[in-house]
């Protein structure tokens, strides 16, 4: 009998990039078996897709209600154990709530919910039901990000005194200047995307990353967001000043109108003794900067790295680790939790990251709307 975790998926069918990413990640360590789900609102489309990817069609369902009802009729040993939510943002909260109330573990795309209040409700539900919950802030799966976290925790750079994150994309530039296009894109529709586009989509990645690698919580922010057009309700660019405490400050810059940029996500943490810098488009290199010393470059797969970094490294030194691998590491950590094995909490972002992220989005928007003032987190 297979000891693989029985895995279900909501959304992610057809040519969905995120669907491919999750399926590759789940298969990477032979821990999960795709068992069923709802790939599309049209069951016939879901069935056809299941056939295309070679999985049985007897557990492809009409909708989430049917899926939960039918799965709960099965013996616990045969039942789907964990479900990934790969749908648009506005469905995350209701789907996660239904699944957790029924006893399923959840892997959820970010943002976790549409509002901070929803995120708190989900966290309370998890605390009551003790479901395992992973939020796919994918970049935390990179070995060199994990190495960065451990080096900061071990005091390699000394006391943190400056943090900086930049996340620049240009994908929305061709859309935003066309009134018809910007009015029909779900990312710019508050009813489907939430109150923020840029900060809700990529700014929150940068925010979560800064708290992840430093081990510190941001306690107040000041945001200046840009909508570019008066008829566009959603931010597509912005700068956020950060305060961790009185003497530790930073800046977060995010944009979806940085023309020509693809996925330029850079994180830099500066301490009393040294600094660390990492860039997502070249994820194999972690740079250590020290006054009066040559630049040092850390790369994955070497014995000098931390156990957390090495556990997330699958290839020998010199072979690139990519975003599929990063997502795979999150699925690997979640598998350990589901199986009751020992795991490092840093192996996958938790529901707390979702709560913190939703709070950040709402406070950033409020800071901007109230005249670019400081707001507590």
Q: What is the pLDDT of residues 209-257, one digit of tens each?
A: 999 999 999 999 999 999 999 999 999 999 999 999 999 999 999 999 9
pLDDT (tens digit, 9 = 90+) per residue, 8-50?
999 999 888 889 889 989 998 889 999 999 999 999 999 999 9
Let me know the angle formed at the C-alpha of 179 by 176 and 183, rounded to the nearest 5 degrees.
85
What is the CATH superfamily name and number for domain 5-138?
NAD(P)-binding Rossmann-like Domain (3.40.50.720)
Q: What is the reported pLDDT for 41? A: 94
The SS3 of residue 115 is coil
- How would you class 377 by CB atoms within 10 Å of its CB: exposed for 0-12, middle for 13-18, buried for 19 or more? middle
**Residue ranges of the chain with per-residue pLDDT less than 70:** 1, 315, 319-322
Identical topology for domains 5-138 and 143-315+350-369: no
Q: Spell out the domain ranges in the chain.
A: 5-138, 143-315+350-369
Give the model's pLDDT for residue 186: 84
Beta pairing, strands 248-255 & 237-245:
antiparallel
At 192 the pLDDT is: 84
3-state secondary structure of 304: coil
- In the numeric block, which tokens belong to residue 200? 């809700």
Measured between alpha carbons, how far is 64 from 93 in angstroms, rounded to an integer? Answer: 13
- Give which of 100, 69, 107, 68 is closest to 85, Cα–Cα: 107
Q: Where are the alpha helices (DSSP H) in 41-161?
A: 43-53, 64-72, 92-101, 116-129, 143-153
pLDDT at 342: 95
- Please state, in angstroms and as integers, the Cα–Cα distance from residue 172 to each residue in 186, 223, 259, 329, following that order: 12, 21, 9, 29
- Domain 143-315+350-369 homologous superfamily, CATH: Dihydrodipicolinate Reductase; domain 2 (3.30.360.10)
Closest to 314 in 3D by CA, of 284, 285, 341, 344: 284
Burial readout 63-102 (b: 16 or more C-beta within 10 A, e: otherwise) = ebeebbebbeeeeeeebbbbbbbbbebbbbbebbbbbbeb
């Amino acid at each position: 009998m297979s000891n693989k975790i029985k895995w279900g998926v909501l959304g992610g069918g057809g040519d969905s990039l995120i669907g491919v990413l999750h399926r590759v990640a789940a298969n990477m360590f032979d821990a999960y078996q795709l068992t069923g789900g709802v790939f599309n609102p049209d069951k016939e489309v879901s069935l056809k897709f299941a056939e295309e990817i070679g999985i049985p069609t007897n557990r492809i369902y009409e909708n989430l209600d049917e899926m939960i009802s039918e799965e709960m009729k099965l013996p616990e040993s045969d039942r789907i154990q964990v479900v990934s939510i790969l749908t648009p943002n506005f469905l995350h909260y209701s789907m996660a709530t239904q699944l957790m109330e029924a006893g399923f573990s959840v892997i959820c795309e970010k943002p976790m919910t549409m509002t901070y209040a929803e995120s708190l409700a989900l966290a309370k539900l998890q605390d009551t039901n003790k479901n395992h919950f992973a939020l796919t802030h994918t970049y935390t799966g990179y070995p060199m990000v994990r190495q960065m976290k451990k080096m900061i925790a071990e005091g390699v750079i000394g006391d943190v005194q400056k943090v900086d994150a930049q996340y620049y994309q240009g994908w929305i530039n061709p859309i935003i200047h066309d009134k018809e296009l910007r009015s029909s894109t779900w990312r710019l529709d508050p009813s489907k995307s939430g109150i923020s586009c840029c900060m809700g989509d990529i700014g929150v990645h940068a925010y979560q990353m800064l708290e992840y690698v430093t081990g510190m919580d941001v306690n107040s922010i000041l945001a200046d967001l840009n909508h570019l057009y008066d008829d566009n309700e959603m931010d597509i660019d912005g700068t956020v000043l950060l305060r961790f405490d009185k003497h530790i400050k930073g800046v977060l810059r995010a944009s979806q109108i940085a023309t020509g940029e693809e996925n330029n996500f850079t994180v830099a943490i500066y301490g009393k003794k040294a600094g660390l810098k990492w860039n997502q488009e070249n994820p194999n290199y972690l740079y250590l900067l020290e006054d009066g010393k040559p630049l040092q470059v850390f790369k994955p797969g070497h014995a000098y790295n931390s156990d957390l970094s090495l556990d997330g490294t699958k290839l020998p030194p010199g072979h690139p680790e990519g975003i599929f691998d990063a997502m795979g590491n999150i699925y690997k950590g979640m598998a350990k939790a589901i199986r009751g094995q020992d795991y490092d909490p840093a192996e996958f972002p938790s529901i707390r990251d979702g709560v913190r992220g939703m709070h950040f989005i709402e406070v950033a928007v409020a800071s901007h709307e109230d005249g670019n003032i400081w707001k507590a987190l």
